[in-house]
Structure 1
């Protein structure tokens, strides 16, 4: 009797990168219902995979149980005990390379690894002799790993993304939905891809005058700043520190009519839930392949590329060219407000 195919997919971080695997896996399980998948990542990201058939989640603890080399040995043994037939490395970093090596030496598991396209990304972001073109999306790069393992994988742009019913807790916190709900995620990992605070306040001010409810997303470190914004405008609610976990956050996002985000994780959360997602870009660019899933090109709002022709200057936003510090200021608040009003 032939053994059931069982793929271990390994991707620990970051939030947005893990979220981008979701539509790929959703497409895959529709096309290959006979295949079992175990997704290996950090425990707090498990809610992303709750409702995907044939997918189990394996939590990695890099702070204790799976910390260091001996922790990786333990992790390998635990994964090996699951009796996988295939190993898909969606991450290609030191930890995944070690696990990959152990599988190649001690098992007959078939292995494939993501091609991150580093050379073409360098060409896209270099200041001189820039090769300015759309690169393969991260979604397709993930699909290519599964194809290399022998499973034909086509990304389905018509995936079912039924709205979640607003949870009891979120209903108690935010009330019933009797107007358009707009999410705003104003932060990103680096300043060069974060819309300036004073301009974002003008966006919030403009939107707060409409018959809408605005939800501002942030972490615990942002609570005071976002509460200050909440107190300045009507119809504005800070979400920071109020939700019990990612599951509640995803439930709220699912009920939005539109999400405004930087090039960050919240954009990908919204997109995979079928929410219209408008993104603001600074030193990064959607051509690098990290645009949210299945969103129109004009939902990506870019700086003035005639004034800042060397953009993009970075894949992750950690590099700023001299003189480009204010590139995002060339995106006018009125442009952002108008786009959101068009979308809703």
Structure 2
């Protein structure tokens, strides 16, 4: 079927948030073969779009060329020169994306934007009189935007991508995968309130590799994280730090080969989810009820303290612990993590 409709999709944000858009856009394209999507996002995230027919990555540099209102206007003009946009799906609904969609609306294009459900999330995370109820997932909220534009989008749980072969540059570091299960360990997140104490996570790592049953690959990014993971790998030679060593495309191939990923409520949970890799996710200040569980992931693999009345205290983990003791993370035992990993692999 020939392409008759071109949809502009915007999500100018962090890697994990962008990764969650991919299953939805793939589903839209599968159910609407006449549609093409032009996906405007961070210039560094192009590898997420690879291998999906009719999904066109359009890089945005909001800290450089596309900074501020003049830059966003340049972005609008650049898109308009290259593509005839029929409608806009704003999956971000922040000031930048509102400005971009306004330019298209003034040009006569239909626009739909995500409803983030702020009232429900506020009730879920407030200090007093919490309403501890699951909110509509972010994945479903994305899907609703496309439905507003009259497109079919019925979400399932099937992996978006099949496992990818490992490039030679990766194999030179990891070696070939044999019968030994590979476990990814991604201990970091943007905020401390979303991170399990590294010393306790080290205990879980030691338990997993003590008899040589599992190969553990350490994931992270940024100079400080790379340094900490290299130190950890030096103490545990059966673990390999892959942090900062590969491109995003290479890292995705590596993630696709994992048997389990251990992750905080952060990007690596969402990257692993694209390949159907089970994730043992560790939750502290945030909660799966806020709608950010990885695509297709089971909540039974989530590790969290369920009897703390202060949880969750934040949607994104960006608020300091008002108790001051980070009990939501400190009370989690390392064996709670290792037991779930072992149960998944078995």
Query: When the two structures are superposed, what TM-score results if normalisation uses the length of structure 2?
Result: 0.95
Between Structure 1 and Structure 2, how many residues are aligned? 339
Map 1:5-154 onto structure 2 (within 5 A).
Answer: 5-81=5-81, 82-105=83-106, 107-154=107-154
* Structure-2 separation of matches of 1:223 and 1:313: 29
Map 1:179-194 onto structure 2 (within 5 A).
Answer: 179-194=180-195
* Structure-1 separation of matches of 2:159 and 2:342: 26
Q: Which runs of 5+ in 2 are unaligned?
A: none
Shift of 1:190: 0.7
Contact 2:3–2:33 (Cα < 8 Å) also in 1? no
Going from structure 1 to structure 2, the CA distance change for 1:56 and 1:160 (only over 3 Å counts) comes to: closer
Shift of 1:104: 1.3
Deviations 1:76-109 (A, max 9, x none): 111222110010000011111111111111x121
Shift of 1:167: 1.5
* Structure-1 separation of matches of 2:315 and 2:99: 25
Counterpart secondary structure, 1:301: coil
* Structure-1 separation of matches of 2:3 and 2:197: 55
* Structure-2 separation of matches of 1:188 and 1:242: 19
Shift of 1:159: 4.2
Q: Which residue of 2 aligns with 1:197?
A: 198
Contact 1:208–1:234 (Cα < 8 Å) also in 2? no
Shift of 1:205: 0.5
* Structure-2 separation of matches of 1:268 and 1:227: 24
Shift of 1:64: 2.2
Deviations 1:4-49 (A, max 9, x none): 1100000011111100011111111110111010000012111011
Q: Which residue of 2 aligns with 1:335?
A: 336
Deviations 1:264-293 (A, max 9, x none): 000000011111111000000000000001
* Structure-1 separation of matches of 2:151 and 2:93: 20
Q: Which runs of 5+ in 1 are unaligned?
A: none
Ranges of 4+ aligned residues in structure 1 off by more than 3 Å: none
What root-mean-square deviation, in Å, do the aligned CA atoms of Structure 1 and Structure 2 show? 1.3
Deviations 1:283-334 (A, max 9, x none): 000000000011111111112x32x212000000011222452321211101
Map 1:153-302 onto structure 2 (within 5 A).
Answer: 153-159=153-159, 161-178=161-178, 179-209=180-210, 210-221=212-223, 222-243=225-246, 245-302=247-304
Counterpart secondary structure, 1:44: coil
Contact 1:270–1:277 (Cα < 8 Å) also in 2? yes
Shift of 1:160: 5.4
Shift of 1:241: 2.1
Contact 2:159–2:273 (Cα < 8 Å) also in 1? no
Moved more, 248-257 or 223-232: 223-232
Shift of 1:151: 0.7
* Structure-1 separation of matches of 2:231 and 2:3: 58
Query: When the two structures are superposed, what TM-score results if normalisation uses the length of structure 1?
Result: 0.96
Counterpart secondary structure, 1:215: strand
* Structure-1 separation of matches of 2:325 and 2:114: 32
Counterpart secondary structure, 2:233: helix
Going from structure 1 to structure 2, the CA distance change for 1:339 and 1:3 (only over 3 Å counts) comes to: closer
Deviations 1:35-66 (A, max 9, x none): 01000001211101101111101000122211
